[in-house]
Amino acid sequence: MLQGSLPALVTPFMNGALDLDTLKKLVEWHIAEGSNGLVPVGTTGESPTLTHAEHETVVAEVVKAAAGRIPVVAGAGSNNTIESIRLAKHAESVGADAVLVVTPYYNKPTQAGLIAHFTAIHEACGLPIIIYNIPGRSVVDMMPATMAELAKLPRIVGVKDATGDLARVCDQRMLCGPEFIQLSGEDATAHGFNAQGGVGCISVTANVAPKLLSQMQAHCLAGDYAAALAIQDKLMPLHKAIFTEPGLVGVKYAMAQLGLCSDEVRLPLVPLTDGTKALVNAGLRHAGLLN
């Protein structure tokens, strides 16, 4: 079962190219720090600006480096169903444990279109599928009743919910069943999400604070929400600072401050402004990650 803290892994660059040596080091670091899984080539992994060959390389390298020690949930989303099927089949061929598939962005499919899209991927790929519902980016919201229809398929096993609506967790549990895996897609509300019945978070901040977030998730799973809240309070300024501008830019800057990777991002994203850098630095200090 997928649960706990699963970093939405960044894709490190050096002089515009994939930095695979650093990527492998990050995998080792996350395992040592207690991360419960890895999610490469999601939005935080800059999937929109990776070539198809780069996308596949990152998935293959992360799977190889993880070597079965923790699960790898490979990003395989697209607004083109055929392309999403190809990415999912590639992830399966290199040994990923599951795929994360976002609701098709820009096209604005109906709920029937969402069912058809995810059913087609399910029928083409043997891996478990996590639905990624993020209406703020995709401009389409998968309704709980639609998710319940998809949950009837044997390999559609859960959701990364980035709606920010904590009532959805209850609705989805009632409609999809208690075994349906619900993972938060929003760091700032992950504690509350778990209290409503979630079992973990696909986290951006976990790229820079994996041990703390793994500990927070472990406390939640053990039912110790007071201990989890103490960690959430420690990290909240960092969560907010990272997302002042696009989250992957914020977290790459934070990682660079700790010597983990370069802060390089690809256009159309640009480096953080000085004001946001100051907020991130303050958040790192509040969390005890930077002197």
Mean pLDDT taken over the chain:
98
Local structure of 158: helix, strand or coil: strand
- Inter-axis angle of helices 210-221 and 225-242, to 10 degrees? 140
The residues facing 74 across adjacent strands are: 99
Mark whether 105 is an active-site residue. no
- Provide, rounded to the nearest whole percent, the portion of the chain with pLDDT above 90: 99
What does the alpha-carbon distance between residue 194 and residue 279 come to, in Å, rounded to a whole number?
A: 27
CB 193 within 8 A of CB 201: yes
Q: How confident is the model at residue 1 (pLDDT cuts 50, 70, 90)?
A: confident
Task: Kindly name the residue from 105, 160, 252, 277 that is annotated as catalytic.
Answer: 160
Q: What are the tens digits of pLDDT across the range 66-93? A: 999 999 999 999 999 999 999 999 999 9
Question: Pairing relation of β-strands 13-14 and 17-18?
Answer: antiparallel
Q: Counting every residue, how long is the chain?
A: 291
Mark whether 225 is an active-site residue. no
pTM: 0.97
What does the alpha-carbon distance between residue 221 and residue 227 come to, in Å, rounded to a whole number?
A: 11
DSSP letter string over 161-208? E-S--THHHHHHHHHH-TTSEEEES-GGGHHHHHHTT--EEEESGGGT
CB 12 within 8 A of CB 262: yes
Q: How far is CA 278 from CA 87, 125, 204, 274, 285, in A?
A: 38, 45, 19, 6, 11
- Residue 152 tokens read as 């009837």
Task: Kindly name the residue from 105, 132, 253, 277 that is annotated as catalytic.
Answer: 132
Q: Is it the case that residue 99 has pLDDT exceeding 90?
A: yes
Q: What value does the mean pLDDT take over residues 251-271?
A: 98
CB 62 within 8 A of CB 94: no
Q: How confident is the model at residue 109 (pLDDT cuts 50, 70, 90)?
A: very high
Any idea which fold 4-222 has? TIM Barrel (3.20.20)
Q: How confident is the model at residue 107 (pLDDT cuts 50, 70, 90)?
A: very high
Q: Is it the case that residue 232 has pLDDT exceeding 90?
A: yes
What does the alpha-carbon distance between residue 239 and residue 253 come to, in Å, rounded to a whole number?
A: 13
The residues facing 130 across adjacent strands are: 100, 158
Render the burial of 103-127: b for 16+ CB within 10 Å, e for the rest: bbbeeebeeebbbebbeebbeebeb
